[in-house]
């Protein structure tokens, strides 16, 4: 295994990054290394985030206010926080 995306995101959030910042930094690194990753996470406040460098990420969410899915995300690297 070359690298572990989940561990990078968890360490960054534990070190004080917001979920969005941790996802942005982790996926920028992944894109620069030409990795094909996808992740969905939730932080202690209930914020839901996802990111991808792959063309497709399958997921759906409901945060009590908003409901959505990842099926209509555009291709390429993308970060989304709900």
pLDDT in tens, 15-67: 999 999 999 999 999 999 999 999 999 999 988 999 999 998 999 988 888 89
pTM: 0.87
CA 15 to CA 20: how far, in whole Å?
13
Q: What value, to the nearest 5°, has the Cα angle with vertex 35 and ends 3 and 12?
A: 50
CA 9 to CA 37: how far, in whole Å?
12
First to last CA, the chain: 31
């Amino acid at each position: 295994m070359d690298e572990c995306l989940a561990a990078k995101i968890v360490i960054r959030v534990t070190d004080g990054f917001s979920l969005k910042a941790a996802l942005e930094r982790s996926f920028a690194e992944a894109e620069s290394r030409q990795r094909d990753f996808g992740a969905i996470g939730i932080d202690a406040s209930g914020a839901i985030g996802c990111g991808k460098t792959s063309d497709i990420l399958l997921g759906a969410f409901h945060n009590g206010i908003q409901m959505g899915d990842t099926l209509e995300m555009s291709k390429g690297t993308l970060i989304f926080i709900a």
